[in-house]
Amino acid sequence: MTIAIFVFSLCGAMALGMPIAFALIACGVALMFHLSMFDTQIIAQNLINGADSFPLMAIPFFMLAGGIMNAGGLSKRIIAIAMTLVGHIRGGLGYVVILASCLLASLSGSAAADAAAMSALLFPMMVKSGYDPVKSSGLIAAGSIIGPMVPPSPGLIVFGVTAGLSITKLFMAAIVPGIMIAIGIAVAWWWVTRKMVLEIPPRASAREVFKAIREGLWALVMPAILVFGLKFGIFTPTEAGVVCSAYALFVSLFIYKDLKFSQIYSVLAAAGQTAAIVMFLVAAALVSSWLITIAEIPQQVVDMLKPFMGSKILLMIAVNVLVVIVGTAMDMTPTILILTPVLVPVIIAGGVDPIYFGVIFIINNAIGLVTPPVGTTLNVVCGVTRIKMDDIIIGVWPFMVAQLIVMTLLIIFPDLVLVPMHWFMA
C-alpha cells in the first residue's frame, strides 16, 4: 500500500503538470498523511538540510566552469585538436565528434552544453562533406551523453550526495567505463558509415597538429588538473570545481582573450540559474527520501526483489531494466533523486558494491537522455540542427544499442569498473 501511495502520488502530481521539485514535495506530504505524521516543520527542515551540503556545492562551480569554457573559446579549440588528429580518417568527422565529446566531457560534464557546441560547430561541416544528416545528428546526440558519465559529472555528484557515498571514488570509477562507451560509439559509427560515399579531408600536417595542440593546450590541462588533484587528495570534488572555474576564467580572459569582462555577468547568471534548479530539486528530494526511509519502502522493494537476490548479475539486470523504463519518461536528475534512496539499500542488501552500482546507474540515466519521448539531448540537437525528432530517433538508435551493449558488459564483468577504480584510488 505504501509503495502504491508513493508511486501514484508522484506520478499523479507530474501528470497534473506540477514541476518535479513540487511533485516530490507533494509525494512526501502524501506519505506523511498515510503515516499519520503530517508536520510542516519536517518539510521545512528537510528542505533546508537537502540544500545545506558542502559536496553539493561542486555542481554550481562545475556548471560555472562549463559556461566559462564555452564562452571563452576552450570548446572550439578542443574540437580543433580532434579535427587535426582524426579528421582525415574515413568517417573522420564522426570520430572528431566522439573524440571531442570525450575531451569536452572532462571539462563541463553537461550533455546539453556539449550537444549544443558540437551541433553548431561540427554538424554543418559533416553535411557539407556528404555525411547523412540524420546519422550525423544521431551521433552528436549519442556522443554528448559521455559528459554525464565521467568526471566532473553533476549526475555522479547528485548520486553521491543522495546516497552518502564518496564522490571522489565515483569520479575515479567512472573514467574507464566512459572510455568504453566512447569506443562502443566509435564501433557503431564505423558500422554505420561503412557503405557511405564520403569526402575525406586531407591529413593535417605535423605543423597543423602541433599548432592545434599548442593553442588548445591550456584547455587540455584542465581535466589533467581535475584527475591529478582528486587522485592525490590535493582537493575535494567541491574544491576541484572552484579550481576549474578559476582556471577557466583565467585562461578565457588572459590567455585566449575570447571572454570579455562584460560577458562575465551573463555567464555567472546562467550558471546560477541552472544550479538553482538542481539545488532546489535536491532539497525537495530529501523530503520524499526521508519519508521513503521512514515508511520502509526500500525494505518492501527488497522483499519484492528477493527472487533476484541470489545472483548479483540478475539483481543488477532487474534494477537496470526498471531504470531504463523510468528513463524514457523522466529526465536524469529527477530519476537519480527519486530512485537512489529506494535502490541503494536494495543493491547493498544484494551484496553489490554501491560505488559500482552508482557508475552503472549514472550510465543508464545518461542513456535516458537520448531515449524518446523525453530525450533532453535529442531536443537540444533537434533545435540546433533543425532535424525532425522522428528522424533523429532513427539516427541515434545504432549508437544507443552500442551503449546498452557496453553497459551490459559492465554488469556482467564488474571488475571493468572496480579494478580501475582501485588503481586510481591507490
What pLDDT was estimated at residue 190?
A: 92
What's the rounded Cα separation, in Å, for the pair 51 and 275?
A: 11
What's the rounded Cα separation, in Å, for the pair 140 and 16?
A: 33
What's the rounded Cα separation, in Å, for the pair 257 and 409?
A: 44
What pLDDT was estimated at residue 186?
A: 94
What pLDDT was estimated at residue 191?
A: 93
What pLDDT was estimated at residue 363?
A: 95
What's the rounded Cα separation, in Å, for the pair 158 and 58?
A: 10
Cell of residue 247, nine digits: 582556471
| Cβ atoms 280, 59 nearer than 8 A | no
What's the rounded Cα separation, in Å, for the pair 2 and 34?
A: 8
Q: What is the dihedral of CA 58, 64, 67, 70, to 10 degrees?
A: -80
What pLDDT was estimated at residue 1?
A: 67
Cell of residue 333, nine digits: 536528475
What's the rounded Cα separation, in Å, for the pair 194 and 217?
A: 33
What pLDDT was estimated at residue 189?
A: 93
What pLDDT was estimated at residue 109?
A: 67
Buried b (16+ CB within 10 A) or exposed e, 7-20: eebbeebbeeeeeb
Cell of residue 270, nine digits: 546562467
Which of 331, 395, 338 minimizes the C-alpha distance to 368? 331
What's the rounded Cα separation, in Å, for the pair 189 and 136?
A: 9
What pLDDT was estimated at residue 408?
A: 94
What's the rounded Cα separation, in Å, for the pair 325 and 64?
A: 32
What pLDDT was estimated at residue 297?
A: 73
In angstroms, the first-to-last Cα distance of the chain is 46
What's the rounded Cα separation, in Å, for the pair 182 and 289?
A: 34
| Cβ atoms 53, 234 nearer than 8 A | no
What pLDDT was estimated at residue 265?
A: 92
| Cβ atoms 295, 35 nearer than 8 A | yes
What pLDDT was estimated at residue 373?
A: 65
**Which amino acid does the sequence have at 319?**
V
What pLDDT was estimated at residue 26?
A: 86
pTM equals 0.83
* Burial zone of 261 (CB within 10 Å; 0-12 exposed, 13-18 middle, 19+ buried): exposed
Q: Which residues of the chain have pLDDT under 50?
A: none
